[in-house]
């Protein structure tokens, strides 16, 4: 999400110096980035105290590497476990992946970029400190975060109900982004939705009714693709499918996320067999990695009073299974 050129000066003054402007795109993304920045600074202090002979650059980079691995752990052990429909828990242990056939150097394909554009999850109204807050007005301006603090931001995110992933369900202010995503798929000349189903070991669909049981979705697909199911595009087909029971995402997205998320996350160079050890991260950093599995773990260490009285739970994803489908 690009920062508007017409953003007023008083709102610009509340933006934070992050690595990219998208980190300021909403109060909630700014809060998550702030949390990890605080954790990095905390790690710098701990690592420096334990290694007084290290220079600033070594301390900084070691803390940075620890933070990256902690982020991977939170993604796998909290976030992916939350959206998964399975009854077993996934762990961010990279060792079983070292000899896997899919283990490869980290890279991001355009398909993965597009399938993760879950814009229809974003509600038009969230909760901020107990009161309704339009998301469209919470972009590129961190004054409420500066005023109320990081704890309120994380608690508010955790109490905000997301929408359900699917067609006809994107908030109005995000619809231009959906159009840009569709154009990107066409510009990159991606294969059809059916081709990707076949690639992911799903049978090709022969009728629109096999994509969705929603009559409105079926009718729209038939109209847009001239009654030819083979013409359904990748980006549209991904979000047209009905999600299985207990699942946050439709089947094709789920399978591609399972494949790509793990081949991206667990093949990070920091998790390679010659790097993923205490010597790389320092004893203090290694201990911190072992103690991190959730956003609450990070918040407990980086809020002035910890998380007492706050709900810190999978920010903006905690009730995804029961979220309404609003059109």
Region for residue 149 given its phi and psi (left: phi exceeds 0; alpha: psi -120 to 50; beta: otherwise): left
Which pLDDT value is given to residue 317?
42
pLDDT of 286 reads: 97
What pLDDT sits at residue 81?
A: 67
The DSSP call for residue 76 is: I
CB atoms within 10 A of CB 186: 12
Over residues 235-263, the pLDDT tens digits come to 999 999 998 877 778 999 988 887 766 67
The tokens for 221 are 């697909």
* Cα torsion 20, 25, 30, 32: sign: negative
Question: Taking the CB of residue 124, how many other CB atoms lie within 10 A of it?
Answer: 15
**274-to-62, 91, 101 alpha-carbon distances in Å:** 16, 20, 19
Return the pLDDT at 139: 86
CB 242 within 8 A of CB 250: yes
Of 174, 85, 74, which is closest to residue 122 (Cα–Cα)? 174
pLDDT-flagged residues of the chain (< 70): 1-2, 81-108, 260-262, 313-327
- Helix, strand, or coil (residue 148): helix
- Report how far residue 84's alpha carbon sits from residue 68's, in angstroms, rounded to the nearest whole number: 22
pLDDT at site 90:
59
For 127, the 3-state DSSP assignment is strand
3-class secondary-structure state, position 131: strand
**Do 316 and 162 form a contact (C-beta atoms < 8 A)?**
yes
Distance between CA atoms of residues 234 and 237, nearest Å: 5
- pLDDT confidence of residue 179: 95
pLDDT for position 312: 78
In the numeric block, which tokens belong to residue 192?
């059809």
pTM greater than the 0.85 cutoff: no
196 Cα distance to chain centroid: 22
Contact 199, 259 (CB under 8 A): no
**What DSSP state is assigned to residue 190?**
P
Set out the domains of the chain in order of their start, with CATH numbers: 10-107+122-165+270-322 (1.10.640.10)
Query: The tokens 């996934």 sit on which residue?
Result: 90
The whole-number pLDDT of residue 207 equals: 97
Tokens found for residue 7: 């953003």
Three-state secondary structure call for residue 92: coil
């Amino acid at each position: 999400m690009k920062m508007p050129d017409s953003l007023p000066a008083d709102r610009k003054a509340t933006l934070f110096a992050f690595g990219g402007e998208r980190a300021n795109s909403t109060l909630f993304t700014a809060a998550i980035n702030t949390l990890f920045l605080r954790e990095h600074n905390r790690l710098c202090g701990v690592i420096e105290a334990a290694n007084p002979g290290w220079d600033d650059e070594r301390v900084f980079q070691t803390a940075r590497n620890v933070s990256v691995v902690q982020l991977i752990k939170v993604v796998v052990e909290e976030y992916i476990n939350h959206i998964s429909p399975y009854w077993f828990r996934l762990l961010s242990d990279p060792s079983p992946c070292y000899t896997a056939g899919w283990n490869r150097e980290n890279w991001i394909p355009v398909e993965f970029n597009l399938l993760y554009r879950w814009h229809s999850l974003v509600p038009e109204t969230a909760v901020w400190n107990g009161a309704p807050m339009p998301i469209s007005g919470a972009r590129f301006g961190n004054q409420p975060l500066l005023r109320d603090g990081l704890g309120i931001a994380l608690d508010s995110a955790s109490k905000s109900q997301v929408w359900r992933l699917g067609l006809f369900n994107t908030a109005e202010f995000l619809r231009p982004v959906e159009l840009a995503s569709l154009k990107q798929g066409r510009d990159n000349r991606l294969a059809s939705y059916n081709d990707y189903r076949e690639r992911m070991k799903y049978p090709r669909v022969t009728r629109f009714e096999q994509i969705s049981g929603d009559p409105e979705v079926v009718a729209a697909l038939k109209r847009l693709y001239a009654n030819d199911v083979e013409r359904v595009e990748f980006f549209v087909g991904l979000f047209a499918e009905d999600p299985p029971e207990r699942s946050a995402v439709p089947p094709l997205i789920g399978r591609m996320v399972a494949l790509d998320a793990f081949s991206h996350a667990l093949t990070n160079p920091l998790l390679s067999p010659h790097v993923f050890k205490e010597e790389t991260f320092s004893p203090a950093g290694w201990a911190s990695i072992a103690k991190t599995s959730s956003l609450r773990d990070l918040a407990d260490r980086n809020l002035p009073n910890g998380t007492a009285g706050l709900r810190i739970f999978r920010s903006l994803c905690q009730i995804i299974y029961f979220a309404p489908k609003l059109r």
